[in-house]
Amino acid sequence: MSFITWRNLLPTALTALLMLGISSVVAAQTGNTHAAQTLAQGSAAERAAALARIRATPVEVRGPEVLPALLEELHRQSARLEARAAALREGRAVEPSEGEGESLLDVLDLVTQHEQDPRIIPALLPFIATGNRVIDVLAAFGERSVSQVADIAASHTRSDADVHSALLTLQRMLQKPTRTPLSADSRQLIIKVAQMRLTGTQALSVALAAVDLAAATRDPALIHRLEIVSQDAGEVRALGLTEDLVPRLQTRAATALRSSAHD
């Protein structure tokens, strides 16, 4: 075949490839529309298959129905687990349910893949203590999520694990790039939270995270507070920590101070 013939066929070939790509995207979106509907109405097995179908599709071509369906499924599964936990606390019998926790984590992971969509922020907040993936995704939102994360970090009703993870999330907002940079007001809010968690009675995990956050702020008053904590065992005991835990927090404060000085 001559060069001229190839040259004449090239636009047609490119058009065919483009149409094939468009067809693949349309097919993926159509399949995921069905998957999203299945999450709302299907059996447990059908929902598992729908999640697998969604996972196999890149985020950018999942279609607009998928994320709302995932958020709704996350809410449903979370509500089921909470109801089971409440029943157990009350001493009521519950049906054995294998795989619910794994399924919840699977949905949670799929939601975090939509890491540039701020609609996932309120959905992820209840799961802030599930690990680094959720923490990193929330931290990357920066200004868009900081006030909600700070509310958890300052809460007196959330678990110590939640508070610890929220403090860690705020620290990462200060130390890693975010899509929406923190405002001056937000930085002051973080400083206020760190100050609060370095006074009064605190769990060890919370106090340790507060030390790291305080150092990350580089706020002069907080740096001075860390110096006091690192040197005065009485200040550590005033946080409600037992004598055997005093050296651990003091060592952490001294390490955080050195790290802050060298950053």
Q: What Rg value do the Cα atoms of the chain yield, rounded?
A: 25
What residues contact 195, with CB distance under 8 A and at least 6 apart?
214, 221, 222, 225
pLDDT tens-digit map of 111-160:
999 999 999 999 999 999 999 999 999 999 999 999 999 999 999 999 99
Whether this prediction's pTM lies above 0.75 is answered by yes
Closest of 122, 140, 24, 23 to residue 67, by C-alpha: 122
pLDDT tens-digit map of 243-256:
999 999 999 999 99
Tell me the domain boundaries of the chain. Answer: 1-114, 127-263
Give Cα 8 to chain centroid, integer Å: 53
* Alpha-carbon separation of residue 140 from 112, 217, 224 (angstroms): 11, 17, 29
Assign 99 a pLDDT band (cuts: 50, 70, 90): low
pLDDT at 17 over 50: no
